[in-house]
Amino acid sequence: MTAAHAFEYEIPEHAPAPVEAVEQAEGGKVVYLTRRGRRVAAVVPTAVAEQSDLDEVEAFWERQESQVAAACRRMWAAVADEDEGIRDVMRQSIERIMSGIEDEADAAIGSIALNRLTEEGAAVSWQQAKRELEL
């Protein structure tokens, strides 16, 4: 959202958010609630909050994948001087581990996306999905 789409409402101590703030957020605007001129909260459209949630989940899984990859590099280094048979077994194990973490990440992110679609009642045709995914 750009500043042109933002509004600010000054609210007194212990007062609820004005109805106008909720209405503006429903209309796609970001509304900042202020006290004594300082921003203390924001009322945002649901899509903005949900995207933020999805971004956090994606960032979490990226960190997990990075940590697992680092551990796998250490495992590989530990067998660097071993014979080809041991290195082959380790290579297969690392591939299974990396594939597993990637599958977990995809499943978690996909589950969130699917839940949103189900909640919104939005459906995408197979043809549209293929176009969007360039399949």
Could you tell me the residue ranges of all domains in the chain? 3-44, 47-120
Pairing of strands 38-43, 30-35: antiparallel
pTM value is: 0.54
Digit-by-digit pLDDT tens for the chain (135 residues) are 333 345 666 777 777 767 888 888 888 888 888 888 888 888 887 777 777 777 888 888 899 999 999 999 999 999 999 999 999 999 999 999 999 888 888 888 777 777 766 666 656 677 877 787 788
